[in-house]
Each structure stands twice: as structure tokens, then as C-alpha cells.
Amino acid sequence: MATEVLVPTLGESITEATLGEWLKQPGDAVAADEPIASLETDKVSVEVPSPVAGVMGAHAVSVGDTVQVGAMIATVDAGGSAPAQAAAPQPAVTEAARDEAPAPAAGGYGNHGATPVDSDAPAALSPSVRRAVLEHGVDPATIKGTGKDGRITKEDVAAAASSKPATAPAAAPAPAPQTPSVAASTGRKEERVRMTRLRQTIAKRLKDAQNTAAMLTTFNDVDMTAVIEARAKYKDLFEKKHGVRLGFMGFFVKAACMALKDIPSVNASIEGDEIVYHDYVDVSVAVSAPNGLVVPVIRDAQDLTVAGIEKTIGDFGKRAKDGTLKMDEMKGGTFTISNGGVFGSLMSTPIINPPQSAVLGLHRIEDRPVVRDGQVVVKPMMYLALSYDHRLIDGREAVTFLVALKNAIEDPTRILIDL
């Protein structure tokens, strides 16, 4: 008996999504609640589980199609079993499927649903990994994944490409449908890749922020000597006690919470003709995910210890990479901190995340000459950037916020005694 697979509820105000990839192909054995497809929403990727155990039926939609909440996307034959010969000829079927033109568009290479039968079968490929496979011309069936549940990551693809024999590129034209157009005379290439729903949403929200808010950015710099010394002195004990590394973000989140309490307008937002002040601090932290930047929220950050903050951020970073962040974890937020320094950024003018009214940009730490007590000395310095909505936050308040943050970081004892 065929059971319909429906698009699940995706979250408040989200009514549609894009089918990112099929994790199961028709004829694959599936277990109850086993993911069979991945949907891309405005914020995160959501896996669609099978409602019953059985055999994967027909796909009702294709990769890249927009689907509505509650719509049928496939069927599962409940209680059925996969063909007995499926396990033995698996490699031949995989190769044949890879040679067919529609294969890449159907959501990946080979039969990803064979994992329960053959532990060496490749795990499902995310869109970013599929692009990397096409760019490097490698066979995903030969790559051992190091990601969650054995999934292949972009790093795995790059490593496989670097170890590939020099003659391998000659065999790369297999995925013909995705090959970019080539000018034969010059060898110049172009590639057109459809924007993911997440990237489209990021683009729209950032442009809306520029069009709506009266954005202005104020800069300051901070001497990181005291924090670096504290981290070097206590990092081993900290990790032993709390099971997480002591980074810089814990200090900055705590310092920001203190400064936001003193300058509440930086933690406020505009709704219509009203200003909404918050007596709590929900800090959105920008982290990298395979499909773009996401901003999960640290709830009630003002009540957390440095250890609690570091644990939360570490968990967010890991699950963003795995694509397992939940929709509710991306909602809300009263203030954002974006650390471009981890990528080497010296200075930037970050864009606010509406309806928030401010975002703090952190940058790389580098030794620079500064004057202390009339002497030129070398100190580890970092530039801070606060972008804010000038409709709500005056320049005096923005500068006062940055100075309070700077004082707390340069003298971390202030964080302990709430000064």
C-alpha cells in the first residue's frame, strides 16, 4: 500500500520550500522516520522523514522545484522490500545512472539510499558538495565521507581531488549536464548555478535593510592583551572543567551584554512608529554553513556564564556545518555579533539584521604600534565596527557603547564585577 510523503510544517510564516536533494531513490529500502529528502527553506535545510517503513516509490517533484507545506512529494510502499538483486549489481547501476544525463539534476550521484544495505555506499551529497564534485571531476563513490553519518564534505572532495592521478581529468566530462559552457578557442568557462532559497533570502533581507534603515558605522579599536593573557593562562583548566575551548567570543558576548544594559537603545528595535526596548539580550551569532551564513540565537545571554556562551556557540557551529540547526533557533535576536576576523578580515561595515537595530563586527587581531605612557609599543589590536540604525541610535550612544565594550575587553575584571 502506497503512503504519501507530505511536506511537513516548516515554521511560523514559512509556507513553501525548495527541494534541495533526494536522499532516497525509487526502489530503495527505507525505515520509518529515515530522511528521504532535504528541503531548503529561507533559513535552514530540513530533512523529510519517511512516514512508514517500506520501499521508496515514485518522486512527485524534482530537485529545485518549489513545494508548499502539506504537498505530496513522493510515495512509500509500506511493508514492501527492495529487489533482492539490488545489493549485488549496485556498482553497475550506480555507474549507469551516472552516465545518464538527468542523473545530476535528480539530486546526486548513484544510489544514496543503499547505505543500510551497503555500508560503503556514498552518503547523500549536499548541493555545495555536488558543486565541488563537478568542479574537481571526482567520483563520489570513491570518497570516504568524514561528516555526520559518513556524509561527504567539501573538504573530503578537495582531498580526493588533490590525491587524484594526473590522468584523471581526462575522464571528468562524465557529468555533462552540469558542465559550464566553454569557449573552445580560449578555454574560458562560465557556470550558472541557481541560487539556493537561503541565499535568495539573505540577499533580499540585506538589501531590504539597506533600503529601510538609516545605517551608519562607527569604529573603535581594542587592545586584546589582557584577554589573550587570561585565555593563555586558563584555557587548559577551562577546557578540562567545562569540556569546551575558551575562545574570545565568550568575552565579547558578556562585554556586549553589559554595554547593552547601559545603552538600551542599541538593544532595541523599531516597530511601526514605536520603539521596543528589551530587558533581555538575545545575541545572534553569525556562523558559516555550507549554503551560506546563518545566525542562530543565544537566548538570555545576559544570564549565561562565559562557559555557557562558549558551549552554545560551539554547538551552533557544529550543527550549522552538519545542517541540523532547527528553525526555532534562528528566530528572534535583539543584537548581532559577526566575527569576520576568523577569515582574516581587517575591517568591515556589517549590515544590520532587521528588525534589530545594531550589529557588532569583530576583526582579526594583529600586532600594531600604539602609544602607552608616552612610549611606542607593539600591542595585539583589533578593530571593532558597530553598524546601527541612525533612526533609533544616535552617534553619542553608538560611541558610548563601543567605549564600554572596549573598557570591558581591555580589563576583563570589569566583566566579573559588572562594572
CATH number of 2-190: 2.40.50.100
CB-CB contact of 108 with 133 (8 Å) = no
CA distance 412 to 209: 34
Query: Do 368 and 379 meet the contact criterion of CB atoms below 8 Å apart?
Result: yes
Mean pLDDT along residues 136-148: 75
Mean pLDDT, the chain, rounded, equals: 80
- The angle, 0 to 180 degrees and rounded to 10, between the axes of the packed helices 127-136 and 154-162 is 10
Tell me if residue 236 is catalytic: no
| Closest of 352, 398, 399, 384 to residue 214, by C-alpha | 352
The reply to whether 242 belongs to the active site is no
The answer to whether residue 104 scores a pLDDT higher than 60 is no
Over range 399-405, report the average pLDDT.
96
Angle at 149 between CA 2 and CA 116, to 5 degrees: 45
* Least confident piece of the model among 31-35, 133-137, 252-256, 262-266: 133-137
> How many other C-beta atoms lie within 10 A of the C-beta of residue 146?
12
Name the band, by pLDDT with cuts 50, 70 and 90, for residue 211.
Answer: confident
User: How would residue 332 be classed by pLDDT, with cut points 50, 70 and 90?
Assistant: confident
Q: What share of the chain is helix, strand, coil (3-state, %, to 5)?
A: 35, 25, 40
pLDDT mean over 243-260: 94
CATH match for 197-417 among 3.30.559.10, 3.40.50.970, 3.40.50.11540, 3.40.1390.10: 3.30.559.10
Buried b (16+ CB within 10 A) or exposed e, 378-388: ebebbbbbbbb
Comparing 366 with 289, which gets the higher pLDDT?
A: 366
Residue of 99, 208, 300, 390 marked active site = 390
Closest C-alpha among 31, 70, 36, 24 to residue 52: 31
Given 236, 300, 303, 394, which residue is catalytic?
A: 394
At residue 59, what are phi and psi to the nearest 5 degrees?
-80, 130
Query: Mean pLDDT throughout 213-233?
Result: 94
Comparison of pLDDT for 181 and 279, the residue scoring more: 279
Is residue 330 classed as helix, strand or coil in its secondary structure? helix
Q: Where are the domains of the chain?
A: 2-190, 197-417
Q: Which residue has the cell 554595554?
A: 259
Q: What pLDDT does residue 82 have?
A: 54
Instruction: For 162-178, write each residue's pLDDT tens digit.
Output: 776 544 444 444 454 55
* Spatial CB neighbours of 190, under 8 Å, sequence gap ≥ 6: 180, 181
